[in-house]
Every structure is written in C-alpha cells, then in structure tokens.
Amino acid sequence: MTSTRTSQSMTDRSVNFQPAAPAVRAPSPYPPAGGGGTREAPSRRALARIPLLRTLRDGSGFDVVLVLCAVGYLLVFAAFPLAYTLVMSLQQVDMFSLASFDRPFAGLDNYRDVFSRPEALQILKNTVIFVVLSITFQLSIGFGLALFFQQPFPGATYIRGVFLAGWIMPALVVGAIWKWIFAGDFGVLNYLLTSLHLTGGKIFWLSDPDVALFAVIIANIWLGIPFNMILLSVGLAAIPRDLYEAAEIDGARAFRRFRHITLPLMRSTLGAVVALGIIFTLQQFDLIAALTQGGPANASNVAQYWSWQMSFQTYEISAGSVVAVLMIALVILVAALYVRSTEREHAA
C-alpha cells in the first residue's frame, strides 16, 4: 500500500468534492529565523551539539517537555489512587480505617477469598461477554452511521448531531428510561414487539436470568454509539476525497474502496476508539445500577459492579479492591496491545 500520506489535497474537508490540486508550496508565513539566513533541518548529530535550551525550543527536548507535562499531571492525580487501591487489596481494610495506610497486612488472602466465591466465575464470564458484544456492536453501528452520514443528502450533518443525545443524557436518566422500556409488564419494547407480532408473549428482559445481561448490553450499545460515531466521522472526513475518486476511476467498487482506502487510513482512529471503548465499557457502572443491580442472581453482574457492591454495599473494601486490581490488570493488557498496534501507524 502506498504511503498513507500524500502532500496533495489537504483541501477543504467539506462534503462537496474538490478536485485534486497539485502540491503547491505556499509562501512561507514565517519570517526568517532569528540568527539570520535559512537553516537546514537539523541533523541528528547537529542536535547533539545544541545546548539544552535550544532542544527545548527546537529539538527533541520540546517533545519531551510536552509529554512530561501530561504524564506528570496524570502521575500526580491518578497514580496514587491506583497505588492506594493496590495496597488496600493486600490489607484488611475496615470502614473506618480508610485514611490510614497502617492496616493489618493480609497478603494474598483477599485474593483467595474473592476467587473462591461462587459468583466469581459467572461474573468474570459476564464481563467478557459484556465487553466483547458492546464493543462489537457499538463500533459497527457507529461506523455504519458515520459512513451513512458522510453521504451527501440534505440535512445529513444536522441529523447526525442528534445522535449526541446518548453522550449528553445523565446516566441516571438513561438507566431509568431503559428500565421502563425493558419492563416486562408495562414496557414499551414488549408493547411494540407484541403489537407487531414479532414475539408471542412478554419477554421479561430484566428479570429473566437468560436475557438480563443482553438487555444491559443493548442499553450499553445505545450509550456508546455517539462516541464511536462522532469520532469515526472525524476520521472519515479527514480522508482525501480524491483517493476515492481515483480508485473509482480505476474501477474499484464500493466495498473494495472501503477495504483498501477507508480502513487503512482509519487505522489509528479505529485503534484508539476500540481501546478507549474497551476501557470505558469496563468502567460502565450507572447503567447496571439502574437496570438490574447485577441481578437476577448475578445474571447481569459484571466485574466493575461487583467491585462496587463489595466496597460500598457490604463494606468489604479489601475484596472490592481485589476486583479493582483485576480490572487494572485487564486494562494493562488492553493498553499494551493498543500501544503495540501503534507501531505500525508510523509509515513515514
């Protein structure tokens, strides 16, 4: 595949197609660099001789500072809660010993306790199903909608905006509404399904252990569509139109164009959206709290809700921390995979 970047056509990303323009070097908006004369792009060896301050402004020092600011900020505000949780999972924590670090050491006892609970296996299984199905459908529906709204038709860009509703509505409200939609006796979904004769009787979406998890997943997919759709729309809009034109002229059909142009160029966006989507899904809590509370009988319970139940309902804070640590491990895996996949983003 040719280089993903061409110096051509950083033209207007609007819906209307612009003809390809040959690369034209615009007159430089910059005054000549201080110090007189133009400079060559500094070579690596030259960099090594430039004093530190110069690298900050002009060299790799600049990048380092930028990254350190962000990572530093995160380390200050986000690292110690992680450490705190990890420490708590190894101690015996009671309600009122929260603020001190000086608590009896429990080693791996808490871990043994959590894993030997009968609900552990089911909850972990549910978590995997929850994440996999949520991401798959959020991504495909989001991507489908993004592609759909790229097409030129009147009002496309307006209508696309209303899909933000899922991202804006407070989680408490979303949970309550889906609970009423899914209600077995008086829910709208059952009403529509039975009126359209799509099902025989009423489905008890939330209280039937076989169905409950999927009901929660459906609500979660609804919740995740705006995030996927908007970001993929931006990514799609950044793809130069003339690439498609050229391919069409060459005789490629829609699907081939999608496979060979759209997907590769969207790779970094897709990777980011999937990785973040997985992490968000692992944090999704309010929906389960509102819909089923993990029931019936843990049929729709997932790791993050279980952790909350143990920390904040039965005040078994050590056990809750253990599950949190497990989720951290899972996210480490996802993050590592994502970072690995970014190796191939640098074609240059």
Cβ burial, residue 244 (10 Å; 0-12/13-18/19+): middle
Residues 65-84 that bind other proteins (CB under 8 A): 65-67, 69-71, 73-75, 77-82, 84
58 scored as a contact of other proteins (CB under 8 A)? yes
Compare residues 7 and 199 and give the one whose CB is closer to other proteins: 7
200 scored as a contact of other proteins (CB under 8 A)? no
Count of C-beta atoms within a 10 Å radius of residue 208? 14
Cβ burial, residue 135 (10 Å; 0-12/13-18/19+): buried
User: What is the closest distance, in whole angstroms, from the C-beta atom of residue 279 to other proteins in the complex?
Assistant: 7
Rounded CA-CA distance 181/294 in Å is 18
Encoded one letter per residue, x for contact with other proteins by CB under 8 A and - for no contact, window 7-46 reads: x--xxxxxx-----x-xxxx-xxxxxx----xxxx-----
Instruction: Tokens for 324, please give them.
Output: 């949190």
Rounded CA-CA distance 302/296 in Å is 12
Instruction: Tokens for 40, please give them.
Output: 């060559």
Compare residues 129 and 334 and give the one whose CB is closer to other proteins: 334
The DSSP string of 203-218 is --TTT-TTTHHHHHHH
Rounded CA-CA distance 213/205 in Å is 9
Segment near other proteins (CB under 8 A), from 105-113, 130-138, 256-264, 335-343?
335-343
Residues 272-331 that bind other proteins (CB under 8 A): 272, 275-276, 279, 282-283, 285, 291-299, 304, 307-309, 311-316, 320, 324, 327-328, 331
Compare residues 82 and 108 and give the one whose CB is closer to other proteins: 82
Compare residues 246 and 334 and give the one whose CB is closer to other proteins: 334
User: What is the closest distance, in whole angstroms, from the C-beta atom of residue 33 to other proteins in the complex?
Assistant: 4
Compare residues 64 and 108 and give the one whose CB is closer to other proteins: 64
333 scored as a contact of other proteins (CB under 8 A)? no
User: What is the closest distance, in whole angstroms, from the C-beta atom of residue 295 to other proteins in the complex?
Assistant: 4
User: What letter does residue 16 receive in the DSSP assignment?
Assistant: S
186 scored as a contact of other proteins (CB under 8 A)? yes
Rounded CA-CA distance 237/296 in Å is 44
